[in-house]
């Protein structure tokens, strides 16, 4: 299954690959040159297809857990000041996505969207300390009665040039369902209440919609 954000790019890629294949097959006579070109075209197509894949995830719905919004590796766990929405200290958990990860963003909890805002910005590498505040990004807050307000922030990186965000204020959303997409690599930051019990550690690999980031006892 492929994500709808990739339909156009996948279609264009198929056309280009087939076109270059036919041109190569017609004009390039030497096999030592033809086959490497065919291999490069096939590899390019595979990369595009795997990037826009949207595998089904079995989210265990729970009001007492926060699931990872994306696939990737936990690169930050620290107490920080969150200046945009909470304007106080929160526990930040950041998940970095490489270009080979699934790039679908999913709601970390069920509840109501109380804040959703897009910010244009720079394209610093995703692990840069200022990426959270200076890069292109979207900030979304989902609230429910059990966990309160949970903020997640999609952050563009050096390769990511477009963030797609489906969250709209007042939407009622379900944990683990699609909330957006980040094209070609980046990271997502989660901001949780101080004292939240974490179920992940630094450098741990997580899956969006399945891996538990935090839970209430």
Q: Is residue 57 part of a domain?
A: no
User: Tens of pLDDT along 19-75?
Assistant: 998 888 888 778 788 888 889 998 988 888 877 788 889 899 998 999 999 999 999
Q: Is the same domain home to 75 and 174?
A: yes
In the numeric block, the tokens 């004292």 are attached to: 195
Q: Looking at the chain, how many residues does it have? A: 217
Q: Residue 116 belongs to a domain with what CATH number?
A: 2.70.70
Q: Which residues of the chain are modeled with pLDDT < 70?
A: 121-134, 157-161, 184-185, 217
Q: How many domains does the chain have?
A: 2
Check residue 168 and report its DSSP letter: -
Range(s) of the domain holding residue 126:
65-215
Instruction: Starting at the earlier edge strand, list the strands of the sheet with 212-215.
Output: 65-67, 212-215, 197-198
**Whether residue 47 is found in the same domain as residue 143:** no
So which residues are the catalytic ones? 186
The predicted structure's pLDDT at residue 183: 75
User: How much is the pLDDT for 126?
Assistant: 56
Model pLDDT, residue 130: 61
Residue 27 forms part of a structural domain:
yes
Together in a domain, 43 and 96: no
pLDDT confidence of residue 131: 59
pLDDT of residue 153: 94
H or E element at residue 45: helix 31-51
Flag whether 183 is in a domain. yes
């Amino acid at each position: 299954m492929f994500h709808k954000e990739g339909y156009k790019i996948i279609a264009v890629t198929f056309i280009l690959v087939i076109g270059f294949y036919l041109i190569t097959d017609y004009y390039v006579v030497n096999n030592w040159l033809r086959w490497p070109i065919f291999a490069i075209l096939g590899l390019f197509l595979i990369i595009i297809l795997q990037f826009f894949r949207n595998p089904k995830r079995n989210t265990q719905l729970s009001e007492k857990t926060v699931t990872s919004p994306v696939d990737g590796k936990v690169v930050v766990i620290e107490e920080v000041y969150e200046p945009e929405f909470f304007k106080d200290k929160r526990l930040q958990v950041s998940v970095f996505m490489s270009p080979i990860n699934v790039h679908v963003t999913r709601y970390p909890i069920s509840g109501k969207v109380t804040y959703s805002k897009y910010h244009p910005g720079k394209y610093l590498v995703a692990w840069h300390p200022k990426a959270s505040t200076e890069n292109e990004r979207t900030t979304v807050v989902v609230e429910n009665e059990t966990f309160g307000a949970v903020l997640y922030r999609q952050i563009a990186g050096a390769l990511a040039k477009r963030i797609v965000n489906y969250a709209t204020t007042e939407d009622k959303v379900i944990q683990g369902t699609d909330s957006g997409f980040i094209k070609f690599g980046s990271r997502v930051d989660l901001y949780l209440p101080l004292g939240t019990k974490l179920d992940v550690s630094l450098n741990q690999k997580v899956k969006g919609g399945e891996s538990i980031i935090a839970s209430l006892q």
